[in-house]
Amino acid sequence: MTITSPHLGSSAGWTDARLLYALEEVVEKELNRHLKVAKDWMPHEYVPWSDARNFPGFFEDGEAWDKEQSKVTEIGRIALVVNLLTEDNLPSYHHEIASLFGRDGAWGTWVHRWTAEEGRHGIVMRDYLLASRAVDPDKLEQFRMAHMSEGFESDNSHSMLHSVAYVSFQELATRISHRNTGHQSGDPVCDRMLARIATDENLHMIFYRNLLKAAFEIAPDLTMQAVRDVVVNFRMPGHGMPGFERAAAQMAIGEVYNMRIHHDDVLEPVLRFLKIMEIDGLGPEGQKAQEELGLFMGGLNAEATKFDEKLAARKARMAARAAG
């Protein structure tokens, strides 16, 4: 497909302000579509309140937390903490997108609506974790304080296009992480809760993905470069939390989120929807970015295959030990 810019003759003419203005109608259209399909839901309806009891502190009958009280698997517990701490930084995320997208018009309406919907995720996850005693509440709060005290600054805050490209992939990555955490949690109540959250994340991904597609139609070279930069340098928003590297490694082995999942279930679906490698009519910089993106995806797939082989070998060793 040939895409050319109907607005400006060169990439140099595009500024964030011009792009925000040019995409305003698309934002309004996508916002209206989102509001029609999004369903309101009540976080408190997904929490097993009957399992809850007092913790030590002000209550004389408080019962100290113990790992044996939880129905959740070890990998489920690790992933739930990572996922919740990621959601906890919502104030910083709101500040980032409000600063980039503005608080007026359709952009502003989306910013506030997205923030309100995301707020439910942290509420229901924390209530579930505390009511079900899935994690150590003291450590959870200590991690939250440490993580939020550091704040959050996106790798893409310098550019509106980079930010739109990033969230197109990140929202899907978050959906996949929540969904797989539910599957691996060992608790049907947890699985149902995270499935509900994942539905929201999918709708958010569709909003940004469609916006990114529209950006390709008006500024193809700049958008291709932004997608290339984001894909090559992608990091999950929780990367700065305490113990993230170790937790991420455990989640990779536990098949909650790893290179194969990132390649097959996050990057590929968005790139395929955008028909990235079919776009022609690009300038030199756009063509270079497109080629580099293709090379990177090939390299990532090869690395994911190596990871798959190591994971399969690890499973075989564990099965042999269990049988012996």
DSSP code at position 54: P
Distance set, CA 75 to CA 67, 72, 154, 207 (Å): 13, 8, 27, 31
Nearest-5° angle of CA 298, CA 299, CA 302?
A: 90
Assigned token pair, 203? 């709708």
Asked whether the beta carbons of 223 and 212 are under 8 A apart, the reply is yes
Which segments are annotated as binding site for Fe cation?
87, 118, 121, 171, 201, 204
Q: Residue 215 has which token pair? A: 């950006």
Whose tokens are 């550019």? That residue is 159
- Pair 224, 165: CB distance under 8 Å: no
3 in Cβ contact with 220 (< 8 Å) = yes
Q: Which residues are annotated as a binding site?
A: 87, 118, 121, 171, 201, 204
Q: Which residue in this structure is represented by tokens 């539905």?
A: 199
